[in-house]
Amino acid sequence: MSPLLSAERRSLDASMERAGFYPTLLADVVHDALDGREPLSHLIHLETHFERTEVHRHITVLVLTEDMLVITHVDDQQLDEAGEQMMAQVSTESVPVTQIRSVVLGYMYAQPQNYKPSDPVREMTLAIAWSGGQRLDMGPAGCADPQCEADHGYTGTIAQEDIVLRVSSEADGAQAVQNAKAFARALRKVNTDTTTAPRPLDTDTRRVPGIGGRFNRAHPQR
């Protein structure tokens, strides 16, 4: 095990411990999902939702390895009013980096008219797509006339995404935004290096000119 990878493994464990969301359970689930792979980079995002008298927490852990993106979700649920009986729901997904179709980053800056290169990002959105699923956001359409009461139908946007994380410097801290940017850069690098690598099949098909035109034709890339 190289020092760089072992250092990243320790960094991952420390990040899960700092998150404070069932760290022992979370670490066991994440390491089991990694299946012995060494992490290259990671991103942890903790969300808290309030519903009447209940508090729901959700943590997302993204771990990047050389060939996989491992996603872990953990939710907790209060089973009684006193909060003494809790339940945790866990799900994991392992996505080959070769299947990742897009990595989309969105940034929000305050006072852009006074922007300087040293200005921090106020909020960042990371969207990753791999399955081809799409999200449709729709709303009533309008026109430029503020007095118009006519029905203009609906307008909407289609976004290709399987997971979306929003990290805010105000809610999560400035370092969390920097961590998200670093993870996105690492993900793009691994995904780009993998998709641009030459494939042995391309060489093999040229070695059989007699039947290559029909039986050894490469399949189109999706």
Dihedral of alpha carbons 46, 49, 55, 60, sign = negative
Could you tell me the pLDDT band of residue 144, with boundaries at 50, 70 and 90?
confident
Residues 113-128, mean pLDDT to the nearest whole number? 94
User: Could you count the other beta carbons within 10 Å of the beta carbon of residue 101?
Assistant: 15
User: Could you count the other beta carbons within 10 Å of the beta carbon of residue 180?
Assistant: 23
Residues 72-91, mean pLDDT to the nearest whole number? 84
pTM of the predicted structure, to 2 decimals: 0.73
Residues 139-157, mean pLDDT to the nearest whole number? 73
Q: pLDDT exceeding 70 applies to what percent of the chain?
A: 74
pLDDT at 216 exceeding the cut of 50: no
What is residue 209's predicted lDDT score, i.e. its pLDDT?
42
What is residue 157's predicted lDDT score, i.e. its pLDDT?
53
pLDDT tens digits along 40-79: 999 999 998 777 666 788 999 999 999 999 999 999 987 7
- Domain boundary assignment for the chain: 3-140+154-195
Could you tell me the pLDDT band of residue 217, with boundaries at 50, 70 and 90?
very low
* Residue 58 to residue 69: CA distance in whole angstroms: 19
What is residue 218's predicted lDDT score, i.e. its pLDDT?
44
DSSP string, 129-154: E-S--EEEEEEE---S-TT------E
Looking from the CA of 200 toward its CB, the CA atoms found within 13 Å total 0
Torsion angle, CA of 176/163/126/71, rounded to 10 degrees? 50
> Which is nearest to 102 in space by CA: 160, 42, 62?
160
